[in-house]
Structure 1
Amino acid sequence: MVRINLLSQPEQKKKGFAPRPSLPSLGTRPNVPLPLVGGVVFLLLLSGAVFVYFSQNRRMSELDERIDAALQDSTRYSRAITRIRDIESSQSAIAARIQAIQSVDQGRFRWAHIMEELSDSLPEYTWLTSVVQKDDLAMDAAAPGTAPAPPQDQAAPEVAPGSAGAQGTQIEITGVTFSNLTLTRFMTSLENSPFLEHVSLVGSNRSVVDGVDVTTFALTAAYTQPPTS
């Protein structure tokens, strides 16, 4: 059964009927206070600013930590580099000392090697009368059969490492034998020595010693240091 309320609003209030809420029409704007809108916008902006502030602070903290770590690494690496340079300097000094010791050691046994090689190479019926060091046979005018020194305006020939000039010891050997064959054998044996090279005959003469025919000779040779294995 359909009932229609024909009472007016004052009569409805008297009868106890509650008024129904009316919906706003589509053409009307909602009545929102402007201070409320401004407050909401301000809160949003404030929240964004706070978020950006804390984000930047966290980022700055991370960058500061990285910078501190990089500074610590730089200090540690700087100390390591300083130690490495000190070690390299010490190694260079030690290498120079070792080289000086080796040079002195090689020169200390030079004449021992020379005399040993002469003794081992000397054949029978051959005697040595003198063994003299000649540092520069080319400049010794008294040495027969040697080449003259180059002129002053002409450059001296280069000396290869391991040659007589590089070693700095040349010797002149004089002696007596009975035949040229024995002298040749003596020179060949000297050439086969690892400590002597450039063995050459300066001269040989026949003479009489105590009524015996002998051959006097003079040789030159250069001392060389064999390479260490």
Structure 2
Amino acid sequence: MITINLRPGQKRKRAGSPLDGLNERLKAAGARIKDPMLIAAVVAWILVGSWIAWSWTSNARELHALEPRLSQAQVEHKRFASFISQKRHQELIRDSLLAQIGVIRTVDGDRYIWPHVLDEVARALPAYTWLVELTPDGALMAADSADTTTKALSFKVTGRTVDIQAYTRFLRQLEASPWIQNVTPVSAQTVVEHERPVTAFTIKATFRKADSAYIRTVPLSQSVR
């Protein structure tokens, strides 16, 4: 398209920039706004908006950075939850076994008392001394300890000896036993048996469960051989 200037004496005005009109409108608005409080409010709103935008951007950046740690924490939580579940299951099994062992000890706790008593009395018996009677002296009593399955048994030993020193040695060896306590001589007198004088004695004592250091266990297959 061809444009002909019919007025050559006049120059064509340049097209104005759209920003020039915006600047003029801002200047005109600034000239009309004379209230400083309004200006302060506008500036405050601008600052608040800028702070909100900066906070949102910063929080979004931090959230994006924390997402891998969150995923790792979720994996660790699942792993520890599984571990805790297995631990509780094992604790239930342990408690069940302990309860069964407690029942067995309650029912079977006094089964091997007399074998221990006979073994310790026979071990303490010196030469030239023999037993006439070994009997319980009262019922089983609960021992004075935290272990309620342990019971104390009072028993009485009646015997003969041809040597009074053997009698005193028998008392000392009974007292040294970890399974026997409260060894008390009841009587000791000279009697005639088979036309010879001997010392007849009676001793009272109490069975107690020895410390674990004195208890020796062996496999069942070895004990029956």
TM-score category, normalised to shorter length: 0.5 to 0.7
1:176 aligns with 2:160: yes
Cα 1:67–1:126 shift into 2, 3 Å: closer
Task: Spell out the pairing of 1:135-150 with structure 2 (5 A cutoff).
Answer: 135-136=138-139
Cα RMSD, aligned residues only: 4.9
Paired AA for residue 117 in structure 1? E
Equivalent position to 1:117, from 115, 120, 124: 120
3-state SS of paired residue (1:124): coil
Which residue number corresponds to residue 225 of structure 1?
209
| Structure 2 gap ranges (5+) | 22-52, 54-59, 214-225
> Which of 1 and 2 has greater Rg?
1
Map of 1:213 onto structure 2: 197
2:130 match: 127
SS of the aligned residue for 1:13 comes to coil
Q: TM-score, normalised by structure 2?
A: 0.55
Aligned to 2:144: 159
Whether 2:176 is the aligned partner of 1:192: answer yes
- d(CA) in 1 for partners of 2:6, 2:118: 153
1:135, 1:168 within 8 Å by CA — same for their partners in 2?
Answer: no
Q: Residue type of the partner of 1:188?
A: R
Amino acid at match of 2:156: E
**Residue identity opposite 1:93 in structure 2:** S
CA distance in 2, matches of 1:198, 1:187: 11
Partner SS, residue 8 of structure 2: helix
Q: How much does 1:218 deviate?
A: 0.9
Please say if 1:202 is aligned against 2:186: yes
Amino acid at match of 1:219: I
Over 3 Å counting, the alpha-carbon distance change for 1:113 and 1:58 in structure 2 is same
1:226 counterpart SS class: coil
Deviations 1:173-198 (A, max 9, x none): 01112243221111111111222121
- The 2-side partners of 1:211 and 1:11 are apart by 176
Q: CA deviation at 1:209?
A: 1.9
Shift of 1:60: 10
CA deviation after TM superposition for structure 1 residue 107, in Å: 3.9
Q: Which residue of 2 aligns with 1:94?
A: 97
Output the CA distance in 2 between the equivalents of 1:122 and 1:69.
73
Q: Where in structure 1 are there 5+ consecutive unaligned residues?
A: 1-9, 35-50, 52-56, 140-157
In 1, Cα distance between the equivalents of 2:66 and 2:155?
77
Distance 2:146 2:66 in 1: 61
Aligned counterpart for 2:84 among listed residues 64, 81, 85: 81
Distance 2:166 2:61 in 1: 99
- The 1:168–1:106 alpha-carbon spacing in structure 2 relative to 1, beyond 3 Å, is same
Structure 1 residue 106: Cα displacement = 6.2
Classify 1:60/1:212 alpha carbon distance in 2 versus 1 (closer, same or farther; 3 Å). Answer: closer
Give the length in aligned residue pairs. Answer: 175
Alpha-carbon displacement from aligned partner over 1:110-150 (angstroms, at most 9, x marks no partner): 3222212222221222121111122459x9xxxxxxxxxxx
Which of 1, 9, 13 lines up with 2:8 in the alignment? Answer: 13
Aligned residue type for 2:144: V
Secondary structure of the residue aligned to 2:183 is: strand
| Identity %, equivalent residues | 25
